[in-house]
Amino acid sequence: MDFLMKQCLLLIALLMVLFSVVPSAGAESRVVTVGVYENPPKIFTPDKTDTGEPAGIFIDIIAYIAEQEGWDLKYAPGTWTEGLDRLAAGTIDLMPDVAYTASRDQIYAFHSVPVLSSWFQVYAAKGSNIHSLLDLNHKRILVLDRSVQHDAFLQLSQGFDLDFTLVSVPDYHTMFQTVAAGDADAAITNSFYGVMNAKKFGLHDTAVIFSPSNLFFAAPKNQSKHLLPAIDRHLSKLKNDSQSLYYQSLRHWTAEPVRFRLPEWVKITGIGGILLILLSLGSGLLLKHQVTVRTRELETANHTLRASEQKYRDLVMLANSIILRFTPDGRITFLNEFGQKFFGYDATEILGRQVVGTLVPESETTGRDLRPLLEDISRNPKKFERNVNKNILRNGDRVWIDWTNKMIADENGEIKEILSIGSDITPRVKNEIKIYQLNEALRQEAEILEQRVAERTAELREAKEQAEAADRIKSAFLATMSHELRTPLNSIIGFTGVLLQGLAGDLNNEQQKQMTMVQTSARHLLALINDVLDISKIEAGQLKVEAKPFGLPSAIEKTVKIVSPLAEKKGLQLKLDIADTVDTITTDQRRLEQIMVNLLNNAIKFTDKGQVALYCRKENTQYVITVADTGMGLREQDLEALFQPFRQIDSGTTRKHDGSGLGLSICKKLLDLMGGSISVESTWGEGSRFTVRLPVHPEE
Amino acid sequence: MNNTLLIIEDNEQNYYLMRFLLEKNGFKVLGAETGKKGIEMARQHQPRAILLDIQLPEMDGYAVATVLKNDPELQKIPIVAVTSYAMVGDRERILAAGADRYIEKPINPETFVSEIQKFL
């Protein structure tokens, strides 16, 4: 190439010298300033060491035209954008290699016959895997500042939803350098630059080819326009002659350097053909690339569409829902696989059949007629967007299905088809029914129970009333009995006493002994009557206890004195221990004495040897009176019932001891009324301890 | 000195027992089987004291006591209720009706007379 270039430059230089010396006749000599920038092979400054004159296809052509027209060419080097600015400002007359665009047409003037046709192409580093437009996603792409390809590329990529970074760079050389260095992924250049330089930078051309454009010389809008028709005229001629300078220049700047010299005639005849082949090859390649790219893009789109279609198909066919489509007159047009399996029909069996009579029974078991269901749906689609009804399987089983229905209407609003998606809710409904039944059963049960409770309450109330009435009768009876028993007892005890006193004359020893027995029996009978009377009084709530202060020690001493003859008689030691702190008590003296006499009598009664002791001490706000004996004691199982009425231990015919069996229960009831308590500890065969606790002063 | 006591009592044995004990101790004893007759005799004989049973036929002891205590001529005569009524409130009701003392049956023959004497 160097050789060819030099040869050419030499020729140009010679011609220029020749024409500057001998201007052609009839041509007005004038200075034409041409902008120059670096865009080999179209236009560039070859080597600083050389003449510094620009070279390239555009330069060859304009130099030829200038020679023909007698223009004096001047070159104004700069960058692409500087050139455009200068042209707009009118400081240069022509800017080479300007692609025609509508927007540029507003600013600059263009001639009509294109100098070159070009396209833009994306170049990337070898092995980068960038081949098509889609490969540019997420890539850093370099583009010439303020160039047509900038806008064109954005327009091209718009429909593909790509995400890339477009970086503006002042010249192609920098672009290729940057991509080669790996600082960017791709560069957009025109085809001429790419073809010339890609290999040098280790880049390859991609299939991304776009915006074929025509390249011209541009002139300022308001001046130098007269240069443009001359350019057109010469270009037309040059392009028509395959051996013209135009084709020579193309061949010269775009071909690979030739290793061997061809004879001149071969060169000359070959160039045109080769160029034609190249051009057709180029455009063929261009088309092929475009087809490839388009095919790829279409394939991608198709793939996406197919995938989404497949997804829909899968969804419909494999969904765990019944998907059913039918016409408004009830003809089934579609039932998905799940639905087929669920209902027990093959597609061939069910498609085209009526919904009612196959999937929908003619009537529900509730008696609801389902035949007009479809009419209802068509008449009021809104109401049937959600519909729960009974369906029937092929085997006759009835199922509950929750349907979501979508009416598919045509442009006139006429319902064309109904799409129903259903879920089997039979287990849920069955459970609900079961729950309802259980609830109902429970409710009935509860009602029965409530009624029973009411009945029982009434019965109990009645029983209570009866018991209370019986109690009142019992109390009245006891009071009467007590009175009626006392009256004869008065005579028995009275006359016995009179006789024993000798008031009715002397008695002999036997008479005395027997009358004493009558007296003892009569007194016992009286005690019994008194106890019964006490219990009935207490139980009838008729017994009131007094609360008056008195000296507790003297009351205790008095009771001990009452029982001491009995203890003496049995040879028992009667021990009394009253603590110094024991003083006044506020309670019912007569009843407290009755309790203590009772406890002491019991202790003496059930003790055959040893002692009976009464201890009294003060504990905080209460007095504790303990009656302890060394008698027979009590069995554990008997302790609980000890304070119940009529519960003398060993009751029945084996009873050894006298007594009503009421004493302890009277004591307990009296102490309850007095705000006190009684408890017992005992060991069988070793003795008992009865403990009475009474407040020093009763609570208000 | 008036040593006469009136016993109003419908039970023959009880009347006899009291009368026996009192006469043994030097009292003169009059007896009435009903309340009505008792009031009559009290007016007639002006006894030193009246021993009154409560459960009586026709007119009970409460009514008798009320009549006696509301009669200006008789109200000074002390009344000793001698009764088998031992239920709660009996004692209070009898005293409220006008009795001056209350002795529960069965009486103690050893202390009965001394109790009456103490009261007079």
Local confidence band at B25 (pLDDT 50, 70, 90 cut-offs)? very high
Local confidence band at A264 (pLDDT 50, 70, 90 cut-offs)? low
Residue A405, phi then psi, degrees to nearest 5 = -115, 135
Give the nearest chain A residue to B14 (CA atoms): A491
In which region does residue A82 sit, left (phi positive, over 0), alpha (psi from -120 to 50) or beta (all else)? alpha
Q: What angle do CA A213, A218, A219 make, to 5 degrees?
A: 165
Any chain B CB within 8 A of the CB of A236? no
Secondary structure string (H, E, C) spanning A536-560 = HHHHCCCCCCCCEEEEHHHHHHHHH
A257-277 mean pLDDT:
62
- How far apart CA A413 and CA A248 sit, in angstroms, is 71
In the predicted structure, residue A232 carries a pLDDT above the cut 60: yes
Any chain A CB within 8 A of the CB of B26? no
- How far apart CA A38 and CA A273 sit, in angstroms, is 29
Q: What angle do CA A653, A654, A656 make, to 5 degrees?
A: 115
B106 → closest Cβ in A503, A526, A542: A526
**Which of B87, B110, B112 has the highest number of chain A CBs within 10 A, making it the mutation to test binding with A?**
B87
Residues of chain A found within 8 Å of residue B10, distances taken between Cβ atoms? none
Task: Check: CB of residue A123 under 8 Å from CB of residue A198.
Answer: yes
Residues of chain A found within 8 Å of residue B20, distances taken between Cβ atoms? 498, 503-504
Q: Which of A14-23, A191-200, A254-263, A499-508 has the lowest mean pLDDT?
A: A14-23
Residues of chain A found within 8 Å of residue B21, distances taken between Cβ atoms? 494, 498, 503
Return the higher-pLDDT residue of A466 and A474.
A466
Residues of chain B found within 8 Å of residue A492, distances taken between Cβ atoms? 106
Neighbours of A610 (CB within 10 A): 14
Q: Which of A188-202, A336-350, A536-550 has the highest mean pLDDT?
A: A336-350
Partner-chain contact A490 B107, CB within 8 Å? yes
- How far apart CA A347 and CA B30 sit, in angstroms, is 129
A198-213 mean pLDDT:
82
Q: What angle do CA A296, A297, A300 make, to 5 degrees?
A: 85
B87 → closest Cβ in A479, A493, A526: A479
3-state secondary structure of A176: helix
Task: Give the minimum alpha-carbon distance from B108 to chain A in angstroms, rounded to a whole number.
Answer: 6
Q: What angle do CA A114, A119, A120 make, to 5 degrees?
A: 140
A91-113 mean pLDDT:
87
Any chain A CB within 8 A of the CB of B72? no
Q: What angle do CA A374, A376, A381 make, to 5 degrees?
A: 95
- How far apart CA A127 and CA A655 sit, in angstroms, is 123
Neighbours of A93 (CB within 10 A): 25
Any chain B CB within 8 A of the CB of A20? no
Task: Give the minimum alpha-carbon distance from A535 to chain B in angstroms, rounded to a whole number.
Answer: 12
- Residue A19's pLDDT is what? 46
> Six-digit token pair at A696?
């020093």
Task: Give the minimum alpha-carbon distance from A529 to chain B in angstroms, rounded to a whole number.
Answer: 11
B110 → closest Cβ in A479, A497, A533: A497
Return the higher-pLDDT residue of A601 and A261.
A601
Give the nearest chain A residue to B13 (CA atoms): A491
CB contact set of B37 (below 8 Å; sequence gap of 6+): B8
Any chain A CB within 8 A of the CB of B30? no
H or E stretch covering A18: helix A2-21
Q: What's the pLDDT tens digit per position in B28-74?
A: 999 999 999 999 999 999 999 999 998 888 898 999 999 999 999 99
In the predicted structure, residue A123 carries a pLDDT above the cut 80: yes
- Residue A654's pLDDT is what? 37
- Residue B64's pLDDT is what? 94
> Six-digit token pair at A520?
């003892």
Residue A351, phi then psi, degrees to nearest 5 = -65, 135
> Six-digit token pair at A560?
């001990």
Return the higher-pLDDT residue of A322 and A196.
A322
ipTM of the complex, rounded to two decimals? 0.82
Partner-chain contact B14 A492, CB within 8 Å? no
- Residue B66's pLDDT is what? 93
Domain B1-7+35-87 has CATH 3.40.50.2300: yes
Q: What is the DSSP letter of A640?
A: G
Partner-chain contact A486 B89, CB within 8 Å? no
| Alpha-carbon distances, residue A64 vs A13, A248, A253, A273, A293 (angstroms) | 12, 12, 16, 23, 40
CB contact set of A350 (below 8 Å; sequence gap of 6+): A332, A335, A340, A343, A358, A359
Local confidence band at A525 (pLDDT 50, 70, 90 cut-offs)? confident
> What are the residue ranges spanned by the domains of chain B?
1-7+35-87
Q: Which of A26-30, A111-115, A424-428, A531-535 has the lowest mean pLDDT?
A: A26-30
Return the higher-pLDDT residue of A586 and A361.
A586
Task: Give the minimum alpha-carbon distance from A542 to chain B in angstroms, rounded to a whole number.
Answer: 6
Any chain B CB within 8 A of the CB of A490? yes
Partner-chain contact B84 A493, CB within 8 Å? no
Q: What's the pLDDT tens digit per position in B88-115?
A: 677 888 889 899 998 988 898 889 999 9
CB pairs under 8 A between A and B: 72
| Alpha-carbon distances, residue A424 vs A169, A190, A399, A577 (angstroms) | 66, 65, 7, 90
Average pLDDT, chain A: 83
Task: Give the minimum alpha-carbon distance from A610 to chain B in angstroms, rounded to a whole number.
Answer: 34
Q: What's the pLDDT tens digit per position in A406-419?
A: 888 888 878 888 88
3-state secondary structure of A244: coil
> Six-digit token pair at A32?
């034409």
Task: Give the minimum alpha-carbon distance from B105 to chain A in angstroms, rounded to a whole number.
Answer: 6
In the predicted structure, residue A11 carries a pLDDT above the cut 60: no
Partner-chain contact A491 B20, CB within 8 Å? no
Return the higher-pLDDT residue of A257 and B93.
B93
Any chain B CB within 8 A of the CB of A505? no
**Which of B7, B24, B84 has the highest number of chain A CBs within 10 A, making it the mutation to test binding with A?**
B84
Any chain B CB within 8 A of the CB of A499? no
Return the higher-pLDDT residue of A290 and B36.
B36
Residues of chain A found within 8 Å of residue B55, distances taken between Cβ atoms? 483
In the predicted structure, residue A9 carries a pLDDT above the cut 60: no
Partner-chain contact A490 B106, CB within 8 Å? yes
Which parts of A537-630 are beta strand (E)? 548-551, 573-578, 584-587, 611-619, 622-629
Partner-chain contact B87 A544, CB within 8 Å? no
In the predicted structure, residue A27 carries a pLDDT above the cut 60: no
In the predicted structure, residue A170 carries a pLDDT above the cut 80: yes
Task: Check: CB of residue A116 under 8 Å from CB of residue A98.
Answer: no
Partner-chain contact A486 B11, CB within 8 Å? no
Partner-chain contact B84 A487, CB within 8 Å? yes
> Six-digit token pair at A541?
């709530």
A445-459 mean pLDDT:
91
Q: Which of A74-83, A288-297, A298-307 has the highest mean pLDDT?
A: A74-83
Local confidence band at A534 (pLDDT 50, 70, 90 cut-offs)? confident
- Residue A21's pLDDT is what? 42
A262-268 mean pLDDT:
62
In the predicted structure, residue A3 carries a pLDDT above the cut 80: no
In the predicted structure, residue A647 carries a pLDDT above the cut 60: no
- Residue B106's pLDDT is what? 87
A471-476 mean pLDDT:
76
